[in-house]
Amino acid sequence: MKISIGTPPVDAFVILDTGSDLTWIQCDLSVETFRFSSTSGKHVSIPKIAFGCGHNNSGFSNTTSGLIGLAGGDVSIVNQMHQEIKGKFSYCLIPMELLSVDSNTTSHISFGDYAVVSGPGVVSTPLIPGQSLYYLTLESISIGNKILPFKSSKISSNTQGKILIDSGTLLTYFPHKFYAKLEKTLVASINATRKHDTSGFFNVCYASKNDIINAPKIVAHFTNADVELSQANAFTQVDEGLICLTMLPDEAFATFGNLAQANFLIGYDLVAKQVSFLPMDCTKH
């Protein structure tokens, strides 16, 4: 995401991250005016935004210099801009494969009244209260006609079904026990040539032509909201003729990553305390 900071404004490219509170770039901790451009050509300037700075960073591409923190904590830019946006923002992420094909095609983010997600096809699910990060309740995942009930942890009944929705995490992660059931059910439902990922990173990969395999329908059943994942949400091209499942096991936590969120208009309403999903071609949003 491109933002401008200071007077006169200095451009910075940052990673849009619903899993972080603090917005930061490479500098010293400060308070400055943030400037957002829009597709209409207009600019919105918001003064006195507190942001942090990183000096020793890894895992970032050469094109980005930090994060814009969109989580729900006190220092989040969403809370710092609450008077202007009233707790509402939405984004529409284009599928990752399009980034290498067309550099002019971009994802979009909206704030305030422009961020309301409504109309036919919208489903909404409540945010788990009392959390600065955005946790949803995932009740089950269906693969074809088989339903897999989801429990994120046995430690506490309060965490049952708890999953973090995070725009700053690429893949989707599930605790080992649930992931094992999901992988077994999915593999049994796919009639395609299984292949090994030479990097050793992905667990389930298949040979494919035109990045397509005959996979069953996968639906994430959140409370009051069924979100059907396309094949592009569930599988990604890792090499020519090789696609891999974008879901992996994690020791404890469940995370709904950004590949699973592509081609959905996803709206956050921190006043109504809910997240909404609308299937959409994000290249045309």
Query: Is position 28 annotated as part of the catalytic site?
Result: no
pLDDT at 61: 67
Domains in the chain: ranges and CATH: 2-85 (2.40.70.10), 123-279 (2.40.70.10)
Quickly list H helices, the chain: 77-80, 82-85, 97-101, 176-189, 231-234, 258-261
Q: Are 105 and 282 in contact (CB under 8 A)?
A: no
**Pairing mode, if any, of strands 247-250 and 172-175?**
parallel
**Pairing mode, if any, of strands 43-53 and 24-25?**
parallel
pLDDT at 4: 92
- The CA distances from residue 228 to 119, 123, 186, in Å, are 17, 11, 15
Averaged over 96-114, what is the pLDDT? 81
Catalytic residue (choose from 28, 166, 211, 269): 166
Q: Are 239 and 91 in contact (CB under 8 A)?
A: no
- Report the largest interatomic distance among the alpha carbons of the chain, rounded to a whole angstrom: 59
Q: What letter represents residue 91's amino acid?
A: Y
pLDDT at 253 over 60: yes
| pLDDT tens, residue by residue, 181-215 | 999 999 999 999 999 888 888 999 999 887 788 89
pLDDT at 147: 96
pLDDT at 153: 55
pLDDT at 164: 96
Averaged over 58-82, what is the pLDDT? 86
pLDDT at 156 over 50: no
Q: Are 172 and 218 in contact (CB under 8 A)?
A: no
pLDDT interval class at 157 (50, 70, 90):
very low
pLDDT at 154: 53
Catalytic residue (choose from 17, 113, 197, 250): 17
pLDDT at 116: 93
> What rounded mean pLDDT belongs to the chain?
89
Query: Is position 269 annotated as part of the catalytic site?
Result: no
pLDDT at 7: 87
CA 2-229-211 angle, to 5 degrees, is 85
Q: What letter represents residue 102's amino acid?
A: D
